[in-house]
Amino acid sequence: GIRLAPKERLEIPVLFMPAEMKTYKTQVVIHVMRENGENWPYEVTAESDTDLIRNVTVAENGETQGILWIYPIHGMPEAPQQKLVVIRCQARQRLEQRVELMLIGVMPGETALPDAGNSATVNTDESSNAPEVTDGSSATLEFLYELQYQSDEIRSQLDSLVGMQLLEKEWDIESRIVTLIFNIVFAPSKPMRNKASLIVQCTAGGLWKFPLVFIATEPEVDDVINIVAVGLNKESIVGFKLTSQTR
């Protein structure tokens, strides 16, 4: 019953208030008809385009009575802000650290529920960041994860210095908590402090964001150079070699 003038704009508010950590799907359907009640003369036949048939309503005489615009909506719940994870390493050193992250409120499908207390293992194929998690039975559940940076500049700095791999997953079905165990490798070449976010998404629904900060402290002193004076107002010279690590 909403009237729209030519080129008038209609805003349709959509409210999303998820009760559980799972994907919700719905559609917003806009049905437009002429104000005078007349039909459009275009007739929809069996030979008409499939998309056209799906997006119109047809009167008894075959003419087009209304036009439909269908907007699919997928609602993805996001967990509250998680605890900060700090990865600290001295420059020119290599750190390998196991990090446990808790996903609260996981809602897998009925066929993806292993027994309570079972520990799951992960396919560690490096070609994919979506490992399949299984408890040895036919029940499977997948998690997608990626590192997001605040800017492309930070990404260019950290991409070659940071490595991350999902090793395993542990269930607690009663509390609906899944613990993901990651192996993080950090090998900074110079002092820095950069922030990132680890985004974890469950294929059954739900999104978790874990803030990370990568800190590289000052490196060890390479050497101490002593210059001995040969006398007042006279130059003393010492030589040493520097080797570039790259071209």
Answer whether 144's CB lies under 8 Å from 240's CB: no
Q: What is the pLDDT of residues 176-192, one digit of tens each?
A: 788 999 999 999 999 99
pLDDT at residue 42 in the model = 77
Domains of the chain: 24-75 (no CATH), 85-108+141-217 (2.60.40.2310)
Q: Within its chain, how far is the Cα of 237 from the centroid?
A: 56
pLDDT at 134 over 50: no
pLDDT at 214 over 70: yes
Average pLDDT, the chain: 82
pLDDT at residue 140 in the model = 58
Distance CA 93, CA 189 (A): 8
Q: Within its chain, how far is the Cα of 91 from the centroid?
A: 28
